[in-house]
Amino acid sequence: MAEAPVRPTTFRPRLRYEGWVSIAGLAIAWQVASLFFPHFLFPSLVEIARHFVAIFGAWDSVADVVETSARILAGLVGAFVFGSVLAFLMGRSESFARYVYPLLNFNQGIPALSWVVISIIWFKGIEFRIFFIMVMTMLPAFSFQILDAYRSMSKDLLEMTLSFRPSRYDLIRMLIVPTVLPGILTAWKVNLGNAARVVVVAELVGATGGIGYALLQQQQIFDMAGAIAWTLILVVFVLAVQRTITVIENWTLRYRPAAERTV
C-alpha cells in the first residue's frame, strides 16, 4: 500500500482544556472559601497538597492505597466473572433467566450497607467480607449489561457462522465474544465508579488498613484536609483505571465507524 489510510477521528473522553478549566475553577472556589471559613471546614489547597504528598511519603499509607486498589480490582473481577457466567446461562436458557432475573432485580434494591451488616454476621475473614460485599453489589450490573449484549447478537451473523459448522469454542471466540465485548467494557466503566464508592463502605467491616479505614481515622481526628487528600487519591485511581479501559476500548472496538462512537 502506498500510504497509510487516514484513521477516522473518534471521540475520546480525554480531558481537554475545558476539563482543566472546570477543575481549576473548582480549586479556586475552594481556595477562596478557605480564606473566609475556618480551616477545619475548608482547609487551604496547600494543606491538602501537604497531606497528599505525605500519604505517598509513608509506607503505611502507601500500603493503604495499594490495599484498597487491590480490593476494588478483585471485587470487579469477581463480579465480572460471576456476572458473566450468570449472563451466559441466562442467555442460553430462557427458563433459567426467568428464575434468576427477579433475584438480580431484588438484589438491586439492597443497599451496600446492608451487605456490610450481613457479611459481618456471616463471615469471619475481613478480605472475604469485603470481596463478598463488592461482588454482591456489582453483580447485577455486570449480568444485565452482558446479557443485553448477548441478546442483541445478530441472528443473521449467527446463521452465517453456523453454516460453516464451527466448534463451540470457535463460535464463542469468533462471534459471541466480539458481540458482547462492547457491553463488557461499558459494564466495567460503569461499575468502576460503583466499586470505588462501595469499597470504602466495605472497609468499615473491621479492616485495619485501606482508604476507607484512613478516612474513618480522619473523621475521628476531625481532619478535613486529610479526608480530602484520601478522597482525591481514590478519584485519581478511578480516573487512571478508566483511562486504561478507554485505551483498551479504542483498540478493541477500532473497527467501528467514527459516527457510532460520537453519538
Partner 1 sequence: MSATDLEIVFDRVNKSFERPGGSAFEAVRDLSFTVARGDLVAVLGKTGCGKSTMFNLLAGLIQPSAGTVRVQGRNPYRDFDWFRSKVGIVFQNDRLMPWRSALENIALGLEINKMPRAEREAIAARWLDRLGLSGHAQDYPHALSGGMRQRVSIARAFAVKPDILLADEPFSALDEVTGNALRAEFLDLVRDTGATSIFITHSIDEALQLGRRILVFRRPARLVYTAAGGNDVASAARAKIRAEILRALADEALEERETIP
Shortest Å distance, C-beta 174 to partner 1: 7
Stretch that binds partner 1, among 9-17, 35-43, 88-96, 167-175 (CB under 8 A): 167-175
For residue 168, what is its C-alpha cell?
A: 463451540
- The answer to whether the beta carbons of residues 112 and 141 sit under 8 Å apart is no
Exactly one of 151, 243, 256, 261 binds partner 1 (CB under 8 A); that residue is 256
Q: Quickly tell me which residue has 469468533 as its cell.
A: 174
Q: Is 94 in the site for partner 1 (CB under 8 A)?
A: no
Rounded least distance, CB 170 to partner 1, Å: 6
Residue 211: all three cell numbers together = 482508604
Task: Kindly state the smallest distance separating residue 14's Cβ from partner 1, in Å.
Answer: 23
- Grid cell in block for residue 127: 478480605
Residue 38 sits in the site that holds partner 1 (CB under 8 A): no
Q: How many residues does the chain have?
A: 263
Span of 78-86, 130-138, 190-198, 250-258 interacting with partner 1 by CB under 8 A: 250-258
- In the range 144-163, which residues lie near partner 1 by CB under 8 A? 156-157, 159-163
| 10 near partner 1 (CB under 8 A) | no
Three-class SS of residue 175?
helix
Q: How far is the CB of 178 from partner 1 (least distance, A)?
A: 5
Beta carbons within 8 Å of 72's beta carbon, 6+ residues apart: 134, 192, 195, 196, 199, 237, 241
Q: How many residues bind partner 1 (CB under 8 A)?
A: 19
Are 87 and 262 within 8 A, CB to CB? Answer: no
Alpha helices in the chain (DSSP H): 17-36, 45-57, 59-92, 94-108, 112-122, 126-151, 155-162, 168-171, 177-202, 211-220, 224-252, 258-262
* By the rule CB under 8 A, 166 interacts with partner 1: yes
Q: Which stretch binds partner 1 (CB under 8 A): 26-34, 36-44, 186-194, 253-261?
A: 253-261
The phi, psi pair for 98, rounded to 5°, reads -65, -30
In this structure, the dihedral spanned by the alpha carbons of residues 105, 106, 107 and 113, taken in order and rounded to 10 degrees, is 130
36: contact with partner 1 by CB under 8 A? no
Question: What x/- string results for residues 172 through 211 when contact with partner 1 is judged by CB under 8 A?
Answer: --xx--x---------------------------------
| 54 is a site residue for partner 1 (CB under 8 A) | no
Applying CB under 8 A, which of residues 59, 124, 255, 262 lies at the interface with partner 1? 255
Q: Name the site residues for partner 1 (rule: CB under 8 A).
A: 1, 156-157, 159-167, 170, 174-175, 178, 255-257
